[in-house]
Copies of this chain bind each other. A is one copy, B any other.
Amino acid sequence: MNEDTPGAGGGAGPGTVRPGGRTARVREAVLRAAGDALVERGFGGVDLAEVARRAGVGKTTVYRRWGTVPVLVADMLAEMAESSQPRADTGSLDGDLAALAGLILGTLTDERQGPLFKAVIATATGDGPTAEALHRFYRVRITEWAPCVDLAVERGEIPAGTDPAEVIRSLSAPLYYRLLASGDPLDAAAAKRAAAATAVAARAGVFVSAA
């Protein structure tokens, strides 16, 4: 099997000593091609040789640097965690939650991002390091949006001690549940309902941490 892969914490594999120039270009091209393949065929239908071909790269390279689909996905997630999405600041908790719900809805229903998230999460269910990368990704996103909750506390809209992460999760969960499990429609009504339910629960103090 392969040693020292990017996703894993320890060893320094190919691409770590000379990360510039060609190496960076190859990584970019391969990640993009891998994303395309995941969107089109889903996890399970991805052939690394095809990814290499579509990236205009030797398949030896793909096998050497990543080796398996989960490792490639973990690398993608690391990349995705970098690019941050700016949070809204509408002046009210309801407004901010509605904005975030709309953003998540937009992502999950997007023609490319929806299938991509499905495939990425499916991959993470079967591989520890990929799951860890996925959790890091969500931790980043939640941290970015936490200020909305803190501001609402300062404005006195919701009780002090409310856990921002719990609020964001409560908002996200129903949309992801629809995408992955129940298959129920993923529309504006669902987003609105998620935002409303979260806002009501937050005001009632359900998300106060040391309850």
> Which residues of A are in contact with B by a Cβ distance under 8 Å?
41-45, 69, 118-119, 121-127, 131-132, 134-135, 138-139, 142, 165-166, 169-170, 172-174, 176-178, 180-184, 193, 196-198, 200-201, 204, 206-207
Contacts and interface: CB of A to CB of B under 8 A. Distances in A.
Main secondary structure of the interface of A (DSSP, over half): helix
A158 to B, nearest CB: 12
Contact of A138 (B69, B118, B139, B181): B181
Given A118-B125, A122-B125, 8 more contacts: A43-B125, A124-B180, A135-B182, A176-B176, A176-B181, A193-B206, A196-B206, A197-B207
Contacts of A204: 196, 200
A209 B135 CA distance: 34
Contacts of A193: 166, 206-207
A176 B169 contact: no
A125 B121 contact: yes
A183 B126 contact: no
Copy number in this complex? 2
B43 A183 contact: no
Contact of A173 (B119, B176, B196): B176
Contacts of A183: 131-132, 134-135, 138
A52 to B, nearest CB: 20
Contacts of A118: 125-126
B126 A181 contact: no
7 contacts: A42-B127, A122-B126, A124-B180, A138-B181, A169-B184, A200-B201, A200-B204
Nearest to A115: B125
A169 to B, nearest CB: 6
A196 B200 CA distance: 11
A14 B126 CA distance: 31
A9 to B, nearest CB: 16
A184 B209 CA distance: 14
A44 B182 CA distance: 22
